[in-house]
């Protein structure tokens, strides 16, 4: 009788520990891709800075709230002409990607390793400096 009781208790314990395994594995990487639409272009970025938004419609904003502590990586590709990108925190650019005047204007934009605390919220801003109306954006958030 004791063997059966011990076996039953053991099975219950193993099942209980197994149900916690996904929670113990830790947070999973988050990846999202989307198309940004921003038109008309805003060529005054040269004077006012990256993604300032003085021309209505020239920026595309995507909010991101960190579900856990981690690092954000963002890529902007697939555009014609020149697009720039910024991570906006508390109303100001906290990170930027803009090619210099000597680079090919269609060079992809990239921001990597932007640290966020759990619950912190930023805006990923893609902006049309002097290009076509759309661009592809992908972000990856890793613990």
CA atoms of 112 and 73, how far apart (whole Å): 4
Fold classification of 27-142 is Jelly Rolls (2.60.120)
For the cut 80, the answer to whether the pLDDT of residue 100 exceeds it is no
Q: What is the DSSP letter of 112?
A: E
- Residue 50, CA atoms < 13 Å, CB-side half-sphere: 20
pLDDT value at residue 105 = 76
Q: What is 44-92 written as a DSSP string? A: THHHH-TT---STTSEEEEEEE-SSSEEEEEEEES-SS-EEEEEEETTE
**H or E element in which residue 18 lies:** helix 2-24
Span 32-67, pLDDT tens digits: 999 999 999 988 766 777 888 788 899 999 999 999
- pLDDT attached to residue 25: 76
The β-bridge partners of 36 are: 135
| 31 pLDDT above the threshold of 60 | yes
Predicted pLDDT at 102: 78
What integer pLDDT is reported at residue 57 of this predicted model? 93
What is the reported pTM?
A: 0.80
| 123-136 tens-digit pLDDT | 999 999 889 999 99
d(CA 103, CA 44): 18
Give the residue-averaged pLDDT of 25-38: 94
If one counts every other C-beta atom within 10 angstroms of the C-beta of residue 52, the result is: 18
- Spell out the domain ranges in the chain: 27-142
Q: How many residues does the chain have?
A: 143
pLDDT in tens, 71-90: 999 999 999 999 999 999 99
Say how far residue 46 (Cα) sits from the centre of its chain.
25
Cα(92)–Cα(6) distance, integer angstroms: 62
């Amino acid at each position: 009788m004791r063997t059966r009781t011990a076996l039953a208790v053991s099975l219950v314990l193993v099942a209980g520990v197994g149900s916690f395994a996904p929670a113990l594995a830790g947070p999973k990487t988050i990846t999202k891709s989307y198309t940004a639409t921003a038109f008309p272009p805003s060529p005054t970025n040269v004077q006012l800075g990256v993604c300032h938004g003085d021309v209505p419609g020239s920026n595309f904003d995507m909010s991101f709230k960190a579900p856990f502590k981690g690092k954000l990586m963002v890529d902007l590709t697939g555009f014609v002409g020149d697009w720039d990108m910024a991570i906006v925190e508390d109303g100001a650019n906290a990170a930027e990607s803009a090619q210099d005047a000597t680079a090919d204007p269609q060079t992809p934009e990239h921001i990597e390793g932007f640290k966020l605390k759990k619950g912190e919220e930023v805006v990923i801003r893609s902006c049309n400096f002097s290009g076509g109306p759309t661009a592809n954006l992908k972000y990856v958030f890793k613990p």
